[in-house]
Structure 1
Amino acid sequence: MSAPTAILQVICPDRPALVSELSGWVAANGGNIRHADHHTDLGAGLFLSRIEWALDGFGLPREAIAPAVAALAERLGGEGQVHFSDELPRVAIFVSKQDHCLVDLLWRTRAGELPMTVPLVVSNHPDLCAVAEGFGATYVHLPMSVGSKEEAEQAQLQLLADHQIELVVLAKYMQVLSPSFLARFRGEGMQGHQVINIHHSFLPAFKGAQPYHRAWERGVKLIGATAHYVTEELDGGPIIEQATVHVSHRDDVDDLIRKGRDCERLALARALRLHLCRQVMVYRGRTAVFD
């Protein structure tokens, strides 16, 4: 494992010399910068920055860095947060009956490709219990119906709190989370919890149910999958990553589904790694991805 680093993310109003001020703050505290990425959104008048530096030799103890970053962001009139590369966020995966994304994420986590732990898998069906438990995750079956949805979501929120979950991944969950659930789990500000979903189409095309069937009916020549943050708007949250594959007139719906599953696995795994490595910044309903 490489030496741990600190990762600073800042969003603030744009003005001259911000790069110098931010990098100068790191240098003034003895930090050796490993990566620095910046973006100016001229239309919004915003400056976005991601700076990563080695913790070895840094002048501030780890517990003092977050308060110092908060003070720095306040001075710039924006928001800031800091993360550490050796932290392993606790992630819950929500699934229904399809296992391809779940198996892929659990395998990548065990292989060390995704810097996270998965203590909890939640499903509205019992089918994938053996898969989750085979990777050491607790599997909880919570049936979901129209009359029981509110009660089930209350139980989900309690599970997330009990397991100290920081991120929820909807890996083909096939259920819509209520605004109440999202508000209670996510919280406010840049430090709020997140929910990531994989949708089986190249958004914004074919939102909602059965996108492969509708794509086949339209005779499209390209299908895809989209990993995005979840908001109250169905399949309308900020996009993190997309993957595509070509299809032809010879492909039927089953072929589109088969090819699409490869896209789903790839897009979700890429998006999750980008999120975990703190390479994604959300602002004004969209993302900046420092890849």
Structure 2
Amino acid sequence: MMPASLIPLSLLFTIIFSIPNGIITATTSMGLVMGTPSDLISGHLLLGNPVAFLAFRTFTFTCQDQIIIYLTNAKIAHYMKIPPRIVFPIFILSSVITSTVQYATAIYLLQHVPNICTPENSIWRCLGLQNTFSTTIIFSLTGSFNMSSQYSSVLWGFLVGAILPILSWSLCKMYPNIKWFAFIHFPMFLMATNAIPPAPAAEYPSWFLVGFISNFVLYRYAHSWWEKYAYIFSIAMSCGVALCGFIIFFTLQLNDVSFPEWWGLGGPNGDGCPLDLANYSGFIATNRYF
């Protein structure tokens, strides 16, 4: 298990990263949890101990994520003029209810869904779990991320990521008359790919299309409508997706009703890409754990 001496380090990561995470979330409405730096350091400290690494990663990630969620909900309550004395007990109660429901749901799925989180079940493949499993293996068990490994070139991404925001800020200061420089937001650009993996790459064209129509076409050519309904439209889309997933699960998936087959659903992840599980050489491993 994770040594208790690493708990202060986990809390230190949470304190350091919560401020930039909160700033980015407040200005872009895109939640961000900086887990890679903590994964890199804890992977070296807990090399060969994947269980402890996973515990450290879960503790650090959850603390950062819950801070952002709490601040977001508190901000909404503040805008709705709900007194903090009422909001805080509701947060506590909702946390208890949510934890209970999630635990009960997990137990139900594990007991009633055959071959869950295995290749034999093409619907319940647990892509998020695959991502966590791969991260644990790469950072802790094999120690693949160091300057002497085959992935050492990836570490230059830390330096590039630190320089890019400074570059965009410098361009805005040097050329204030070029207005479109102000729209360059590298953390937001790079954060858009944060869901890969486990999100299939085929989801991004639809995301880009909706965003382009809403925040460019409507903003430019129907600005009065956009100014009045943009936020409501965004909330409606989010609620619609959640409601649709709820209906699909209880009416279709639980009754073994599959989506109709068509050419766009090829590949192991059903996104039309037959090489989703291949490495950079195009080789697909057959002895996979997931």
Compute the TM-score of the two structures, normalised by the length of structure 1. 0.22
Select the structure that is richer in helix. 2
Select the structure that is richer in strand. 1
Larger radius of gyration: 2
